[in-house]
Structure 1
Amino acid sequence: MNAIIVDDELQSRQVLRELLARNHPEVIIVADGENVEEGCQLIRKYGPELVFLDIEMPDGLGFDLLEQMGEYQFQVIFITAHNEYAITAIKFGALDYLLKPVSEEELATALQKAHRKTKEKISEDQIQILLETLRNFEERKLPTRIAISTSEGILYKQVKDIVRLQAQQNYTEFSIMDHARKILASLNIGEYVEQFERYREFMKVHRSHLVNLHFVDRFVRADGGYLVMQDGTQVSVSRAYRDELLDRLEHI
């Protein structure tokens, strides 16, 4: 797998090269660059299968590079220092990232995903969700759409239409308003909880359940307490969340 690194930090590029050479010789770094303009030139020249892409560079964002490239077919693994807004944007776009300093374990996990998706390309919708999310944060707004990665591809849904999320081992099941089939996402529920709890209408009510309070029909105190959603589904409520839940239901 041919790859390119685009990162303005020389040391970061060197560390990544060393990790790949030592643990993943199947990934061959054919070139590296330090800014958006150079990254675009290298991608057009070498046509890599994978791009390691820094988010914040002197002449723009890694997201800008993807927008400038237009049509392309390569996988992207973002590299970033801790930037909660950028990470949220990446997750809402159903893409992968590595935090600096890059660890061997996280790199291996990201590469496994990239290998599985080598025949896919990032869609324009995913890029638009990334950019919309960042712009919304700049304007103190929350994202309105999310890309949900499944075994069959990427689905795009309005956040307001999501009824609830439920843990299914290492996956997450989404229930969507007016969507007959449930959606099984490729990430575990822990990857979604922090992102959705930014919204006042979403709340974790159990270790396996996150619900949209707008779709709650009633709270039942019997059997330890549970919610009945508008579609008739019953959702268990942990005692630790009960008081906060009842308070929020009164004020939603």
Structure 2
Amino acid sequence: MRPQLIKAVLIDDELHCTASLAIHLQELNYNVTVVKSFNKANDALDFLQQQPEIDLVFLDIEMPGLSGFDILEQLNNISFDVIFVTAYNQYAINAFKYSAFDYLLKPVEDIELSQCIGRWKEKKKNGIEKPQLAFLKELLYQQQNRPAKLALPTTEGLAFVTIDHITRCQSDSNYTHFHLADGENLMICKTLKDVESALTPYGFIRIHQSHLVNPKYIQKLVKNDGGYLVMNDSSQLRISKSKKEAVLNAFNMIG
């Protein structure tokens, strides 16, 4: 007897997030089929209001227009279970431990996704209660409105930089150059490997031995000439052969 098909919907305003998550779910072979993927919260809300037969919704929290919380609050009846996919740091998402929701941290790792679905199959929660949703929203409110910052050790002291304003990081031997959205360039005495460990939880992607990029500032992925990215500041960054497959999988619906 074949295991029951698990019908899932993916909602995230970033295209590469829904694309890569769909790939992970397919590779896990957990009998999960992605019914729909949405990168616009309003479209997702319209779909879910039709009360489709859905088992799981993988939902981003912070999206333009409507947040993940807003979507859930506007639904009269929630018959599906929710797994939040979030870039919040570990301190903030401790709030989830006091709720019946489950969560995945970006970037999503195969083993964590596997364990998460395994827990869901064992527990099979029964929908969401509005008071519970309000409680979780209140717990995360402060973190949601406080931009995450990184302390960069410079020759003059510490420079506190909002992580969302970092466009890319470039290796220079034992130093790393931070390129910021306002055009500023800061250099610190840390290797790119050290920087990568700090920024990977925020969705940054290593595309080359010398480059770590923030996907929010990618303008184009060009597959010709070995593959390279065009950033919002018009810089062109080569994708190394060893990173090419991973990058293309994450952005397989772009370009």
Match of 1:248 in 2: none
- Normalised by the size of structure 2, how large is the TM-score? 0.50
Residue 79 in 1 paired to residue 82 in 2? no
In structure 1, what is the equivalent of residue 47 of structure 2? 42
Listed as ranges, the matches of 1:205-244 within 5 Å are none
Tell me which amino acid in the other structure corresponds to 1:76: V
Paired position in structure 2 for 1:14: 19
Q: Which residue of 2 aligns with 1:56?
A: 62
Structure 2 CA distance, aligned partners of 1:42 and 1:85? 33
Cα deviation for residue 89 of structure 1 reads 3.5
Deviation at 1:114, TM superposition (A): 1.7
- Structure with the bigger RCO (C-alpha within 8 Å, sep 6+) is 2
Q: C-alpha distance in 1, partners of 2:92/2:75? A: 19
Measured at CA, do residues 82 and 128 of structure 1 come closer, stay the same or move farther in structure 2, by a change above 3 Å?
Answer: closer
Q: Distance in 2 between matches of 1:113 and 1:132?
A: 25
Q: Which amino acid aligns with 2:62?
A: E
Inter-partner Cα distance in structure 2 for 1:84 and 1:70: 31
Which residue does the alignment assign to 1:69? 75
| Distance in 1, Cα, partners of 2:47 & 2:145 | 33
The alpha carbon displacement at 1:131 in A equals 2.1
Find out whether 1:29 has 2:39 as its counterpart.
Answer: no
Q: Indicate how the Cα distance of structure 1 residues 92 and 139 shifts in structure 2: closer, same or farther if over 3 A, else same.
A: farther
Instruction: State how far apart, in whole Å, the 2-side matches of 1:41 and 1:86 are.
Output: 29
Select the residue among 84, 93, 99 that pairs with 1:93: 99
The 10-residue stretch of structure 1 (115-124 or 70-79) with the greater mean CA deviation from structure 2: 115-124
1:51: how far off? 0.1
- CA deviations over 1:192-226 (Å, ceiling 9, x no partner): xxxxxxxxxxxxxxxxxxxxxxxxxxxxxxxxxxx
1:102 is paired with a residue whose SS is coil
Q: How does 1:112-151 map to 2 (within 5 A)?
A: 112-118=118-124, 120-135=126-141
Q: Which amino acid counterpart does residue 8 of structure 1 have in structure 2?
A: D
Aligned-partner Cα distance in 2 for 1:66–1:85: 23
Counterparts of 1:73 and 1:3, CA distance in 2 = 12
Q: Secondary structure of the equivalent of 2:126?
A: coil
Report the number of matched residues.
140
Q: In the aligned structure 2, how far is the partner of 1:114 from the partner of 1:103?
A: 17
Q: Match for 2:68: what amino acid?
A: G
- Give the direction of change, closer, same or farther, for the CA distance of 1:93–1:25 in structure 2 (3 Å limit): closer
| Structure 2: unaligned runs, 5 residues or longer | 1-5, 147-255
Secondary structure class of the residue paired with 2:131: helix
Deviation at 1:72, TM superposition (A): 1.1
Q: 1:135 to 1:21 in 2, by over 3 A?
A: closer
- Once the two structures are superposed, the pairs formed by residues 167-246 of structure 1 within 5 Å of their partners are none
Cross-structure match for 1:196: none
List gaps (5 residues or longer) in structure 1: 141-252
State the shift of 1:83 in Å: 4.0
3-state SS, counterpart of residue 57 of structure 1: coil
Say if 1:7 and 1:54, in contact at 8 Å, map to a contact too: yes
Deviations 1:89-131 (A, max 9, x none): 4333231111111001100111012222335112222212112
The answer to whether structure 1 residue 106 and structure 2 residue 90 are counterparts is no
Give the whole-Å Cα distance in 2 for the aligned partners of 1:53 and 1:33: 10
Distance in structure 1 (CA, Å) of the matches to 2:87 and 2:144: 18
Relative to structure 2, which stretch is displaced further, 65-74 or 76-85?
76-85
Counterpart Cα distance in 2 of 1:58 and 1:19? 25
Preserved contact between residue 4 and residue 50 of structure 1 (Cα < 8 Å): yes
